[in-house]
A and B are shown apart, each in its own frame.
Chain A
Amino acid sequence: MEQLINMVLLTLLAAITFGIIRVRNLFAVVVLTSAYSFLMASVMIVLDAVDVAMTEASVGAGISTVLALGALYLTKTEEAEPRYSPLLPALVAVGTGAVLVFGTLDLPPFGRADTPLNTDVGADYLARNMAETDIPNVVTAVLASYRGFDTLGETTVVFTAGIGVLMLLKRWRKAARRED
């Protein structure tokens, strides 16, 4: 059953990817990327990564779509004809993809118990978590407590990105006002 769901989801993902490549209307592309994120969130649920699925659904399918639509409102909705042949970029993309697929050949099967991922720190967190923090969702305990420093870094990154966007857009607005 799980295999069937995975096959349906991955087929739909592939179909949407081709759609994104083929369609010239950017509005349709934004809607398709939103659908892509939503399917990706479903894949994450099948993989039992509900926290990631939630993030993907809210950020990928929600906020990114709104921001992309907002950007689209400021520009044209029809993609311009490419000025250069897409041959070289396509070659680079296919090459990178082939290398990545080649890399996955050496990965252990999904969910195997005797991989470093599941025997080293992961098992340690699972063993210590309830006694030390009493937080049933280990993901939260790891994110906020054991690896709190990483999460502080992530929060700072979000903050820095926001400041960067504000600096770019607000400065632009002030400059435009000075011209008129």
Chain B
Amino acid sequence: MRLDTILRVIAKIFIPFILMFGLYVQLHGDYGPGGGFQAGVIVAAGIILYAIIYGIAAAQRAVPPGLVEVMMPLGVAIFAGVGIAGFVTGRNFLDYSNLMHGDMVHGQHWGVFLVEIGVLVTVSSTMLAIFYAFAGRGRE
């Protein structure tokens, strides 16, 4: 019999809520505390908890290291891409005012939303990549 049954059951119950809370922090950042960085860390923490309880191999099946390594630059590219969209719509770099056909407030909302997604993608994947790199080494 496994001795960590309680941990495994509790983790299984908690991880969906942790990921959900990460999404809440991400999407509610306009109104309450939080944003892409905090949400990224919370999402990564949920997956790291899964890796600690169920083993690194199970976590890497759910979130493959290849995907994580693509996500790291992808988030920066999303952020910079939104910035360049500012150029294309006739404003400065990272000025979102014209993103939604001149509706400034609407454009700012979309700009902030997309930029925060970029932060989420890079931060969560970087935390996971560092964890994978550490955990994958094992004792010599």
Q: Give residues in A with beta carbon < 8 Å to B.
A: 50-51, 53-55, 58-59, 62-63, 66-67, 70-71, 73-74, 132-137, 139-141, 143-145, 148-149, 151-152, 154-156, 158-159, 161-163, 165-166, 169-170, 172-173
Contact = CB atoms under 8 A, between A and B. Distances in A.
A161 B126 contact: yes
A66 B33 contact: no
A162 B126 contact: yes
Contacts of B35: 51, 139-140, 143-144
Identify whether the interface residues of A are mostly helix, strand, loop, or mixed. Answer: helix
A135 B116 CA distance: 13
A152 B108 contact: no
Given A144-B111, A144-B112, A152-B94, A66 B131 contact: yes
A134 B109 contact: yes
Contact of B108 (A59, A66, A135, A137): A135
Given A63-B45, A66-B48, A149-B94, A51 B76 contact: no
Given A145-B111, A155-B122, A159-B122, A165 B130 contact: yes
14 contacts: A50-B33, A51-B34, A51-B35, A55-B38, A63-B45, A70-B131, A139-B33, A141-B108, A154-B37, A155-B75, A156-B76, A158-B122, A165-B129, A169-B137
A159 B76 contact: yes
Contact of A137 (B30, B45, B76, B119): B30
Contacts of B123: 155, 158
Given A55-B37, A133-B109, A166 B133 contact: yes
A52 to B, nearest CB: 9
B139 A73 contact: yes
Interface of B: 25, 29-38, 41-42, 44-45, 48, 52, 69, 72-73, 75-76, 79-80, 83, 93-94, 96, 104-105, 108-109, 111-112, 115-116, 118-119, 122-123, 125-127, 129-131, 133-140
Contacts of B96: 145, 148
Nearest to A51: B33
A133 B31 CA distance: 12
Contacts of A169: 133-134, 137
